[in-house]
Amino acid sequence: MKVTIYSTPTCPWCKREKEYLKEKCVKFEDVDVAADQAKAAELIEKSGQMAVPVTVIEKDGAEDVIVGFNQQKLDKLLGL
């Protein structure tokens, strides 16, 4: 399983989600879309919008995309 969070340094919900995942010992890749225009374009392609955080969970060849910090959905998809 691979977890990627598209975020910006100033986003409070991004910080909360990353803190939550660290507390739960979930490893993730943090992508700063404010510093990387190519990754910002990738974010829009995956989510259809420029809102952050966007979390992509890749598991068994499928991708689940979560827009915003949705703890219930994260828990369900990550088996927490």
Residue 47, domain CATH: 3.40.30.10
Q: List the structure tokens of 16.
A: 């909360």
CA distance 39 to 47: 12
Helix and strand numbers, DSSP H then E, in the chain: 3, 4
pTM of the predicted protein model: 0.91
Structural domain total, the chain? 1
Range of the domain at 59: 2-78
pLDDT digits (tens, 9 = 90+) for 24-73: 999 999 999 999 999 999 989 889 888 899 999 999 889 999 999 999 99
